[in-house]
């Protein structure tokens, strides 16, 4: 098996470091410095970088890491411009992280950006800015239909899948979720627990897919209360894409 280290970076990003023995891989290194600090402290050698999408806070540290270890393999979206990528991916591939003895499944999840990828490694899903704790990413490039389909792909994973998103957005996302679905008791419990966690400056991720399916409105677009809220905020139909589009647009101005 392998371990995962959460590395806080920038304002509210998380870089995820996978380690097995002395070998390491990182997901979405928006800043090289905190990664280099962990590698040095733990005596690890970086062998692979996995990028979910092109935004600077997810790939801005690649150059600095390659200066330190030039032989690192860099996986990333073929459809996006990311300096340093040596293994361009489209989704559907299985890649080998040889030094860690791990395989990763690559999933195309367009919506936040057109080429956005997620990586499934064992029980863990590294999903960048597609699925967050209690929320989902903004639609900077994709359509509501594309993002809804991408979220449906992730929702099809086993319920015990650990969701490793790239930002500490959970508390704010749950405030919106409560506006969408105030009658959801599981959501209220989660919001209370997260408030306590954040008051202690502790992280709220990873979460489980089961928890997201029970409390995240963007995975609950067929629930009657979510549909009603979407209708009240401009949804012209009750189908999941129309509901998703309405609540995503509402979240943008919440």
pLDDT digits (tens, 9 = 90+) for 20-44: 999 999 999 999 999 999 999 999 9
Total Cβ atoms within 10 A of residue 80: 20
Catalogue all structural domains in the chain, each as residue range(s) with its CATH number. 3-252 (3.60.15.10)
Q: Is the peptide bond before 206 cis (omega within 30 degrees of 0)?
A: yes
Total Cβ atoms within 10 A of residue 13: 20
- The helix (run of H) or strand (run of E) holding residue 74 is strand 73-77
Task: With CA atoms as reference, report the closest residue to 159 among 123, 129, 193.
Answer: 123
Radius of gyration, CA atoms only, the chain:
18
pLDDT tier at 189, thresholds 50, 70, 90: very high
CA–CA gap between residue 22 and residue 12 (Å, rounded): 27
pLDDT digit string, tens, across residues 78-120 = 999 998 999 999 999 999 999 999 999 999 999 999 999 999 9
Average pLDDT value for the chain:
97
- Chain Cα centroid distance, residue 108: 13
What is the pLDDT, as a whole number, of residue 1?
82
3-state secondary structure of 78: coil
Total Cβ atoms within 10 A of residue 219: 23
Catalytic machinery residues = 53, 55, 57-58, 112, 129, 167
pLDDT digit string, tens, across residues 214-239 = 999 999 999 999 999 999 999 999 99
pLDDT tier at 51, thresholds 50, 70, 90: very high
> Mean pLDDT throughout 128-157?
97
């Amino acid at each position: 098996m392998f371990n995962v280290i959460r590395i806080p970076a920038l304002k509210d990003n998380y870089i995820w470091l996978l380690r097995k023995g002395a070998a390491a891989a990182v997901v979405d290194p928006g800043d090289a410095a905190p990664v280099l600090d962990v590698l040095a402290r733990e005596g690890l050698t970086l062998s692979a970088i996995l990028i979910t999408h092109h935004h600077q806070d997810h790939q801005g540290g690649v150059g600095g890491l390659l200066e330190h270890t030039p032989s690192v393999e860099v996986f990333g979206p073929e459809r996006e411009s990311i300096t340093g990528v040596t293994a361009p991916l489209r989704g559907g591939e299985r890649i080998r992280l040889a030094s860690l003895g791990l395989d990763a499944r690559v999933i195309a999840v367009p919506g936040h950006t057109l080429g956005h990828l997620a990586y499934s490694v064992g029980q863990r899903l590294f999903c960048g800015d597609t699925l967050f704790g209690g929320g989902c990413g903004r639609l900077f490039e994709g359509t509501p239909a594309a993002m809804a389909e991408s979220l449906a792909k992730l929702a099809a994973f086993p319920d015990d899948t650990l969701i490793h998103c790239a930002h500490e957005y959970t508390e704010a996302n749950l405030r919106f979720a409560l506006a969408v679905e105030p009658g959801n008791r599981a959501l209220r419990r989660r919001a209370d627990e997260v408030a306590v966690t954040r008051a202690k400056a502790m992280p709220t991720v990873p979460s489980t897919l089961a928890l997201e399916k029970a409390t995240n409105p963007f995975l609950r677009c067929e629930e009657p209360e979510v549909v009603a809220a979407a209708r009240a905020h401009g949804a012209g139909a009750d189908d999941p894409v129309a509901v998703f589009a309405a609540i995503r647009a509402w979240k943008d101005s919440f």
